[in-house]
Amino acid sequence: MSFDRLAPHYGWMECLLAGGKLQRMRTRWLPELPIPRRALLAGEGHGRFLIELCRVAPEAEIVCADSSSGMLSAARRRLERHGLSSARVRFERQDFLRSSGIAGHFDLVATHFFLDCFPPAQLAAVIQEIARAAAEKAHWLVADFRTPPRGPARLRARSILALMYGFFRCATRLPARTLTPPDPFLAAEGFQLRSRQTSEWGLLHADWWWRPGRS
């Protein structure tokens, strides 16, 4: 899987096809979230969430990780265009299907429109690897697609997702063929769903998970 070919075009493609809908999901819980000290943005892509996090948490140490060097370059340029300091941001090329080697104790993890890239076995491994880097009482933000349980909304979502997966499999060699909900894998790592908001007839969701730690 490589998003390098799409990296120069991903920003305008998102704006054209989704407007601000995906960004609203990425940032839904930022105003209510405790300001993090250390944050891991896994599969961050072109850096739209990174910009907003730097604004609300200018003192946080942030690791922006992605397997695509093109996406990391796009995120770095976006940070510069917005006049935000990169002094506390570390850009790392990482494949979370392998041992990442990223130092742990992040009190915030964000995986936005990233976990949908993996089939079940790989998704379990990726979440387990990221969870190892999370602090005992970490918060985990997930913005992504979902399939509503029933009715016309479900049929609409399945049609959209089929087109989306077909395109990304051709363009990036995406390993997933269908969407796998991450919920059971997050729960297996001790995370609990604190809040969820859906939009677009249930096609999109913004989740706030947290790990309460030992009592």
Identify whether 184 is part of a domain.
yes
> Residue 2: CB partners within 8 Å, gap ≥ 6?
67, 68, 172, 173
**Rounded mean pLDDT of 10-24?**
91
Other Cβ atoms less than 10 A from the Cβ of 134: the count is 22
Count of structural domains within the chain: 1
Identify whether 190 is part of a domain.
yes
Would the pLDDT of 51 be above 60? yes
Identify whether 160 is part of a domain.
yes
Identify whether 138 is part of a domain.
yes
**Separation CA 215–CA 60 (nearest Å):** 27
Identify whether 215 is part of a domain.
no
Q: How many CA atoms lie within 13 A of 51 on its CB side?
A: 16
Amino acid at 152: P
| Domain span at 191 | 10-210
**pLDDT tens per residue across span 148-204:** 999 999 999 999 999 999 999 999 999 999 999 999 999 999 999 999 999 999 999
**pLDDT tens per residue across span 63-95:** 999 999 999 999 999 999 999 988 999 999 998
Identify whether 148 is part of a domain.
yes
CATH of the domain at 50: 3.40.50.150
What is the reported pTM?
0.95
